[in-house]
Chain A
Amino acid sequence: MLKKIGAFLRKNILLLLFISFFIGILATIIGNKAIEYTSTDEFCASCHVHPHVFASWKLSTHYDNKAGIKVHCVDCHLPPKEHGYLVEKARLGLKDIYGYLTKDSAEFNWEAKRTVEQAPHFTSKASCVKCHANLFPLTLKKEGQDAHLYYSQNEATLECTNCHLNVGHYDPKAKHTSNSEFGKGSGKNQIIYTESTKLEKFASFTEKVPGSTISFNMVAIPGGKFKIGSPQTEPFRRADEGPVKEIVLSPFYMAEVEVSWDEFLVFYGKTKRQGRTSDTKSTGITEVKGAGGAGEVDAVSGPTPPYGQPDQNWGLGSRPAITMRFATAETYCKWLSQVTGKKYRLPTEAEWEYACRAGSQDPYFFKGDPKKYSKDRFWNKIFGADTTNINRYVIYSANSKARTQQPNAVKANPFGLKNMLGNVAEFCSDWYSPDAYTALSDGVKDPKGPASGTERVIRGGSFKSDPAEIRCAARDFTRDVDWMKTDPQIPKSVWWYSDCNMVGFRVVCEVDESSGN
């Protein structure tokens, strides 16, 4: 039998070769057809049940442009052929089938997927530059030249989507330019306050910002003693949270909530400057000696217009103001002091932790165990955690929908302060140092932190944080270089962060020494 087959094969070798060749060709053609078919916009649409992306794509410059070129789903959302197109197509295909069968696309946070952080997961840089090979066309204007020059010197750390985020899916609210209209038209209506609130005694009060309609609550925080830092046994404790030291604090007032856009925009509207000529970090080169020396606060110069949309299009109003740099927050306090006649400033790290704890020495000011909440724990990932209590007090990764929330979404701590933990991280006036507490002596009064440093302390975690990072003792700090990565302006803004949307601040007011109020 075998012999027969063998003989047949030998005889008809040419025929066999021809047949296999034909099958091969056919397979290739069918394969290519299949790839072509599964790469059409219609095919993508058949599973990707989120019709809004098609509408926004058709409104975008990648669908409607002068050249009349239509850019398809796979052109951006899959890497080019020579960058592993097929592998990525297969991987994403499997992922999509799994998602289609097991998940409800209506529950996805589509907006979060359109952020600078997440966009690179869905759009490869290689795809952008495959078509946009010439970054310096003759028509490129000065701003574009500066931005692309900056890109060409930092290619490793920048994505095209850092700046060109909404080019594939139109967003009517997106800004890709210096935003001189920002904050205009807010704060109109109602009574305009003519003077700030007079203090008769040391008690919580509502501050009125003269010349505006804005008021905000200040909570009287009694002086006292507390232990700063966390014990070695606290879950998720980091080394910079110790050694624990006892601290004595004088009474002070602290804002009930983080500075809102409404409050911030009064400052911005009254102090901002057009143009960018003075928006320059002093390199000691263009500095003019003698102009505006120490102590001169007569005219506080505030921020220049931001690049893009500082509120991330999440809305202004009573949402916490975000993305301002440390110096901006400090300038805000200086301005607020000037218009109210009180002494407003950023809290020290010790004041912040004391106010946050409000008498508690536990991980949180409410009852709760970080181990039971944290998604870092395998157990919690699989079985979920009972987060009822933390949800009452904190806006964090699990309940924030990847953005800041209104202050009234949470309950206050025992002092009456809201959002001390979560929502946005808050600037403290201290320089950050990992061993700052080592330098403190036990029983020290009103410490102000290290004398110098490179980054500032930020506390409280944010809407992005895991429960492990929003313990009362958890410390964090600014990353000035990373957080300015995208800003394509030359020089970069000294007022606004381009790559940090989770930092804001809260003001404290000093008790007037002469009156004691």
Chain B
Amino acid sequence: MSESNFSRRKFLTSAATIGAVGAIGVNMLSSCSGPKKTAVALNLPPLLEKAPDGPPIKVGIIGCGGRGSGAMINFLDAGPNLIIYAMGDTFLDNVTACREKLKKEKNMEVADDKVFVGFDAYEKVLDSGVDMVILATPPHFRPLHFEAAVQARKNIFMEKPVAVDPVGIRSVMASAKKAESLGLKIVTGTQRRHQLDYVETYKQIMSGAIGEITSANCYWNQNQLWYRNPQASWSEMEYMIRDWVNWQWLSGDHIVEQHVHNLDVMTWFIGKHPVKAVGFGSRQRRVTGDQYDNFSVDFVYDNGMHMHSMCRQINGTANNNSEFIMGTEGKSNCCNTIWNLQDKEKFAYKYPLDEKGQPMKNVKMNPYVQEHIDLITCIRQNIPINEAEQTAISNMTAIMGRMSAYTGKEVTWDEMMNSDLKLGPTTYVMGKVGIVDKAKVAIPGDANQG
């Protein structure tokens, strides 16, 4: 009796395991040996509320603008014994502002001889005795900086996107593999993967809550982003870098620069990249630069599944920053809720309650801090974490969509992996870049014949 019971239980466990494994995907099989290990099998970060204490981690900031100085504070909020040790930026005013912010908000100072300015500042920061770097320059420079940081054997926090063109993506993929064999710890600024409501929803979906995924959508439609006008004292290079979110070669266009977040959620939940794309896009109201301000792309996966992506940066239009996936047995917004096919709620993430006992709108931990907690935890407890390749894949997806919209043609993943497209100048000096005026904005297709 007991033996048959045992067998039955064993069978049920096995069946559950097989189910879970099936849902997770074959590539994760090796690390999955039972339901208890699900978190590891799903490749999730540790998600502690505070990084554990340990020997000091000296950090260098490469790129001290808005995101760099923001990431600096997020990093310091993540746990004890963390030190900002060096700083580098193309411009002096950025470093100065960043030092002031550090002094004001954290009462911490960086020595004068650990502050570097210019295009080669990244090399000096890497050489200054830091244990880890935060890479937060405009994305054009990321492949170069990432490669140098890996060669210098540093742990790395780098912001998305990780490149603006296929040549850059391949460089990042290769550096990521080198970093992996060195055991470096890398987190990439795709903070939704560190956001507890997303993570809990992801776990549900991976254990089969919506069945097989049959289609997906993602959106980042918002108001106009910032821009800067040229100034007499600025060279063309300086102007472009200060206005970087409006220039293809610096930002990769907004489908890459911003929408990569949503596309990364798609890569994460669907578990693979699309194989081709046909996209539309145009420039309606952008003020400076050579980018579009709207994209709409139909991505197709190897099994024929479609994923539609939309992004826009125009004032006075319908805004939406979200994802949606449809399955054979339900649907989800990826973020916090799962419904069955009859729109009945199957799962809702329980947010913490405020003083009045009402559920709050956000997760307890700020995801921008959480990603640093996860990185530091992994460094101090020697847990493997390397997000570079997965982010490069989402990033390449965005580039594929952009190239399809720019050309009006169907663009395949293989073409992207084989493309030698490299944007921007090959050497960096303050001066003429050969400015691309508004007339050079990409125009898809061929001209009408008379």
Chain B, 131-151, contact with A by CB distance < 8 Å: what is the 0/1 string?
000000000000000000011
Chain A, 476-513, contact with B by CB distance < 8 Å: what is the 0/1 string?
00000000000000111000000000000000000000
Report how far A152 CA is from B407 CA in the complex, Å: 29
Given A136-B174, A136-B180, A145-B170, 15 more contacts at CB 8 Å? A134-B181, A135-B177, A137-B178, A138-B150, A138-B178, A148-B174, A149-B174, A283-B403, A283-B411, A283-B415, A285-B419, A286-B421, A490-B170, A490-B417, A490-B418
Chain B, 310-329, contact with A by CB distance < 8 Å: what is the 0/1 string?
00000000000000000000
Verify A285–B417 contact, CB threshold 8 A. Answer: no
Interface centre among A149, A152, A281 (most CB of B within 10 A): A149
Q: For residue B408, which residue of chain A has the nearest CB?
A: A284
Q: Is the interface of A mostly helix, strand, loop or mixed?
A: loop
Chain B, 258-295, contact with A by CB distance < 8 Å: what is the 0/1 string?
00000000000000000000000000000000000000
Chain A, 264-285, contact with B by CB distance < 8 Å: what is the 0/1 string?
0000000000001100110111
When distances are taken between beta carbons in the complex, the residues of chain A under 8 Å from B420 are 276-277, 280, 286, 490-491
Q: For residue A280, which residue of chain B has the nearest CB?
A: B420
When distances are taken between beta carbons in the complex, the residues of chain B under 8 Å from A140 are 174, 178
Let me know if B182 is at the binding interface, CB within 8 A. Answer: yes
Report how far A490 CA is from B166 CA in the complex, Å: 10
Let me know if B173 is at the binding interface, CB within 8 A. Answer: yes
Let me know if B224 is at the binding interface, CB within 8 A. Answer: no
CB distance from A140 to the nearest CB of B (A): 7
Given A490-B170, A491-B418, does the pair A284, B178 have CB atoms closer than 8 Å? no
A-B contact pairs, 9 of them (CB 8 A): A136-B177, A140-B174, A150-B417, A152-B177, A283-B411, A283-B419, A285-B403, A491-B418, A492-B418
Enumerate A167-213 residues with CB–CB distance to B below 8 Å: none
CB distance from B263 to the nearest CB of A (A): 19
Let me know if A455 is at the binding interface, CB within 8 A. Answer: no
Let me know if A466 is at the binding interface, CB within 8 A. Answer: no
Let me know if B9 is at the binding interface, CB within 8 A. Answer: no
When distances are taken between beta carbons in the complex, the residues of chain B under 8 Å from A514 are none
Q: For residue A287, which residue of chain B has the nearest CB?
A: B407
When distances are taken between beta carbons in the complex, the residues of chain A under 8 Å from B333 are none
Let me know if A109 is at the binding interface, CB within 8 A. Answer: no
Let me know if B336 is at the binding interface, CB within 8 A. Answer: no
Q: Is the interface of B mostly helix, strand, loop or mixed?
A: helix
CB distance from A492 to the nearest CB of B (A): 6
Given A284-B407, A285-B407, does the pair A153, B417 have CB atoms closer than 8 Å? yes
Report how far A278 CA is from B6 CA in the complex, Å: 68
B interface residues with partner A (beta carbon < 8 Å): 150-151, 170-171, 173-174, 177-178, 180-182, 403, 406-407, 409, 411, 415, 417-421
Report how far A146 CA is from B150 CA in the complex, Å: 17
Given A138-B182, A286-B421, A491-B420, does the pair A146, B415 have CB atoms closer than 8 Å? no
When distances are taken between beta carbons in the complex, the residues of chain B under 8 Å from A490 are 170, 417-418, 420
Verify A149–B178 contact, CB threshold 8 A. Answer: no
Given A286-B420, A491-B420, does the pair A149, B182 have CB atoms closer than 8 Å? no
CB distance from B249 to the nearest CB of A (A): 14
Q: For residue A145, which residue of chain B has the nearest CB?
A: B174
Q: For residue A144, which residue of chain B has the nearest CB?
A: B174
Report how far A283 CA is from B407 CA in the complex, Å: 10
Across the A-B interface, give the 9 residue pairs with the lowest CB-CB distance, nearest first. A145-B174, A136-B177, A491-B418, A283-B415, A284-B409, A136-B178, A134-B181, A284-B407, A285-B403
Verify A149–B421 contact, CB threshold 8 A. Answer: no
When distances are taken between beta carbons in the complex, the residues of chain A under 8 Å from B409 are 283-285
When distances are taken between beta carbons in the complex, the residues of chain A under 8 Å from B181 are 134, 136-137
Report how far A491 CA is from B420 CA in the complex, Å: 6
Interface centre among A285, A286, A490, A492 (most CB of B within 10 A): A285
Report how far A46 CA is from B178 CA in the complex, Å: 42
Report how far A285 CA is from B181 CA in the complex, Å: 34
CB distance from A151 to the nearest CB of B (A): 11
Verify A149–B173 contact, CB threshold 8 A. Answer: yes
Given A138-B151, A284-B409, does the pair A145, B171 have CB atoms closer than 8 Å? yes
When distances are taken between beta carbons in the complex, the residues of chain B under 8 Å from A138 are 150-151, 178, 182
Enumerate A102-143 residues with CB–CB distance to B below 8 Å: 134-138, 140, 142
Chain A, 245-279, contact with B by CB distance < 8 Å: what is the 0/1 string?
00000000000000000000000000000001100
Report how far A280 CA is from B406 CA in the complex, Å: 19
CB distance from A282 to the nearest CB of B (A): 10
When distances are taken between beta carbons in the complex, the residues of chain A under 8 Å from B173 are 149
When distances are taken between beta carbons in the complex, the residues of chain B under 8 Å from A148 are 174, 177
